[in-house]
Chain A
Amino acid sequence: MNAVASADCREDALAALAALRPPVRVIAERERLVAFEMDAYVQRRETPMAAVLPDTEDQVREIVRALARLGVPVVSRGAGTGISGGATPRADGVMLVLTRMRRILSVDAAARLATVEPGVPNAQVTEASAPAGLYFAPDPSSQVVSSIGGNIAENAGGVHCLKYGLTVHNVMAVRAIDGEGDLLEVGGEALDAPGYDLLALLNGSEGNLGVITRATLRLLPRPEATETLLAAFGTVKSAAEAVGAIIGAGVIPAAIEMMDRVVIDACERYMALGLPRAEALLLVEVDGGAEETAETRAKVEAILAGCGVTEVRVAKDEEERANLWKARKGAFAALATVMPDYYTMDGTIPRRALPEVLEKIYALGREYGLVIGNVFHAGDGNMHPCIFYDSAKAGELERSEELGGKILELCIDHGGTITGEHGVGIEKLEQMCLQFRVGEIAAFHDVKRAFDPEGILNPGKAVPSLKRCAEWGGMHVRDGRVPRPDIPRF
């Protein structure tokens, strides 16, 4: 994917950036560029030709215009917490780093809106809104550091999506610079906007359609009460069935998270939390009015009792609540103690298929001789199988990636998707060819061209080229519908 920039091209790009007025901060020394050589998708790294760190929207526009004139790719980056390689650099491209644009421009308590620059960390929006009794609902686990611009670019999720939606449901307006350097003002303070819903396209566009320079976010009132309970099960299957039973009873919990034995053991070793000994744990959170929440919690307890639960712990206060969440929130850190390396997947499946798909995932793990742990958003059917490997052992990374691909295919086969919240990036390009057919991939490229005709913005990410899909031989036959035979295979 990465052509190495010719020396001339690099000189031209650096000269163009140096000529910008007011001057913009540019990093060109190789040793300082190391900081940007990868995001949290650590399997790939690359040194960009330069990094540029604007302070204002005007600078972003001028940077994109200057680089577009030269045909130099622009890879935008926020905090670099993405785990699909959306911000993996290109050797022939410039990193556009937005972390200096981190002002909260306004918190309008009456209108329940916050307007922020793209580099503001997610959690700071909620901190700034808290005095008004408000908060920003999307809460990816990286929220302390991950930036709003990145959250929008990836349409980030979190643990409360079933009830409160993804990022796309909580963004009112976005300002973005398109691939021609034009400022797009999309959405607004009103509850809809004229024309096509371009906001839907920009959310989750992985830096391909525009560089986000400002966002207006919808804030929600803090619920009056929240209750959290932890339920232990003797089998993964019974835990998965309990999830369906709760939702089937008309309860929409604020969160339902699941952890399997591998994860429970890792958490216990790492944090010594005194978790119940179980094959699976469910963490269920309900919120709403004070009386309502107590009623809902009682209802959930009754349902769990009918689903073979072996132990239920209910948090009595905020401290106990935090304790119950500790295992879930610390799970990924704990997992790092299992093996030197692990690789987190992100498929979503219809919830009813959870028991079967989990069983197949464990079987695949046995087949590949790799340990897999599962900690995930069970209420959304959004799975995060973690595949453990040792990169020091020859071939193990490749084997883990192959196993990951198989898991994603399993998700597609069960009517799901290859990514629920992490994005495609460079990681899942190949599986995109399985989930979508030629016509759909072509339509994605049409959308890309509408915003970025020259393909300057984060090229090679999010959507595979038709040529690559044909090379992989993976164009998909779905629902018995044969891919369009009239479209030439490259």
Chain B
Amino acid sequence: MSKDTAHINSLENEAIYIMREVAAQFEKPVLLFSGGKDSITLVRLAVKAFYPAKIPFPLMHIDTGHNFPETIEFRDRLVEELGLELIVRNVQDSIDQGKVKEESGRYASRNMLQTTTLLDAIEEFKFDACIGGARRDEEKARAKERIFSVRDDFGQWDEKNQRPELFDMLNGEIEHGQNVRVFPISNWTELDVWSYIEKEDIEIPSIYFAHKRKVFLRDGLIWSAEDGVVYRDDEEEVIEEMVRFRTVGDMSCTAAVLSEAATITKVVEEIRDSSISERGARIDDKRSEAAMEKRKQQGYF
């Protein structure tokens, strides 16, 4: 067995163990699904964990309304093929209800607004565990996150008072009103996720592969000029380039990278050689060094 296969297998075994602990320890778990490669990987792991039974919890998508159309189309097909239950809650509704205010200007994004919609949905459905695809390698503050991470009534993360996690033992005891964020792929790196997608032959949305797109440049990053979601100054010139996306979050804060990688094998090769980290293409982290930690304290996923 090559190093890569043995290593991916051990990560997969760990993630399946975590999925089963969630199903056993909680009454109303939910898998937070964004349509991105990490949440698609989670769905695959959940399928394997409970086979031949169906996944014993629903999927939930917090839709910013600024998703790449390819992602939504993909999401609906996946849910239908696997016969899963999908819950969708919209950031637009939170805006219409006056709960959050849309940002404006050059760096306007709905990424932060998702938090309110998510917390409302958790309360609406009384979810006690939310499975997410965050990984510790993504960002410094995430490197300290537990696999079972307890959130209080306000969805807040108390990073100085986290439960120690020893050996394989996961303590999911919570009080009424609290919930646990669960991160089964905590120990995976970006390359691990891509290698797994390749090994398992998992289908992912087309925007992850190189394609021609109308884009413009700002702050050294490449932004989509299609769909009119990203604010663009008149002097910011639109050009056509071969690009692909490394993450598919909200369109307004997800930059593309120049790429010729049109197949999964090429993507894996490209990631292996890449010298820019994945979140380097996420503008919301660049606001300040402590950006991620602050968002997490407020309940961001």
A joins B in a complex? no
A→B interface (CB under 8 Å): none
B→A interface (CB under 8 Å): none
